[in-house]
Amino acid sequence: MGLFDWLFGGATEPRIGRPHISDIAVPIAGDDGTPASKNQIDAIERLICEPPLGDLTYQQAAAIMSARSYSKFVLDDVLSKPGIRHPRRSAYLALQANLIAFIVRAPQARVYVCRWSDKNFESGEEKPPAKNVHWQQAVAFVAPVIAKLKA
């Protein structure tokens, strides 16, 4: 993309709003109500760009952080395809925040992603997730935005 196109609007990036923490902090069955840690809260504030709710639990925060790790794998994969340009950091983070909201609000996906993240934590490795039904749903969710990033 040339500077001329950029200056005069020939190339635009999709505007992506970020979800509110209330869209992401969903009730989790079996949650014992232990408060989120300061590290979790700090990481979520950077991701969502708003202070988390005062009663965010450890399990809710862990689900959000697990979905964050998973979403990075999904986005890195779809953005590495030929002909797709990588969005600016702010658009990437907004897209990631929306994908996190999508994952944590889908109970089956949330459980799968949390188990995948727990296994990685326990093994001390960061193995990519399987490209199963949850992966396909995540890719389908971001597909409309990715289509607007075609070079």
Residue range 51-66, pLDDT digits in tens: 656 688 999 999 999 9
* 79-135 residue pLDDT tens: 999 888 888 888 888 889 899 999 999 999 999 999 999 999 989 888 999 999 999
**Dist. CA 150–CA 85, nearest whole Å:** 6
Contact 60, 36 (CB under 8 A): yes
Query: Does the pLDDT of residue 2 top 60, yes or no?
Result: no
- Reported pTM: 0.84
- 15-19, 66-70, 129-133: segment of lowest average pLDDT: 15-19
CA distance 129 to 96: 16
The more confidently predicted of residues 146 and 49 is 146
Terminal Cα-to-Cα distance of the chain (whole angstroms): 8
Would you state the pLDDT for residue 139?
94
pLDDT band at 4 (very low <50, low <70, confident <90, very high): very low
Q: Is the pLDDT of residue 147 over 90?
A: no
Question: What pLDDT does 66 receive?
Answer: 94
Q: And the tokens for 7?
A: 């200056």
Confidence at 50, pLDDT banded by 50, 70, 90: low
